[in-house]
Amino acid sequence: MKQNQLKLKNYMEDIVVLLIEEVIKDKDICKCEQCRLDIAAIALNKLPPKYIVTGQGEAYAKTDLLCRQFRTDVLIQLLDAIDIVSKNPHHNTF
């Protein structure tokens, strides 16, 4: 019998990663991996986790739905995180 690969997943993480790309593309800030991950970490620490159980296939429709629902909250935290990271990058600026 073939079992579905069920996994526990924090959707907030996907939403943050998706929205970061959208938010930083118009901003005059460093867009390296270090800075993007720093921004994601700061935002995710302030946002409530949204754990769901995922199987194969169903993941994306739900991401889309949650994405719209939490978009505003996530955007607020992202802008805040961008502000923090752009003022204190964890690497030398050139």
In angstroms, give the least distance from the CB of 29 to Zn ion. 8
- Closer by beta carbon to Zn ion, 37 or else 59: 37
Tell me the window of 7-15, 31-39, 57-65, 67-75 that interacts with Zn ion (CB under 5 A): 31-39
Residue 35 near Zn ion by CB under 5 A: yes
Instruction: Pinpoint the alpha helices (H) of the chain.
Output: 11-24, 33-46, 59-87
Separation of alpha carbons 24 and 80, rounded Å: 12
In angstroms, give the least distance from the CB of 52 to Zn ion. 31
Separation of alpha carbons 44 and 15, rounded Å: 10
Cα 57 versus chain centre, distance: 20
- Closer by beta carbon to Zn ion, 72 or else 93: 93
**Contacts with Zn ion, residue ranges (CB under 5 A):** 30, 32, 34-35
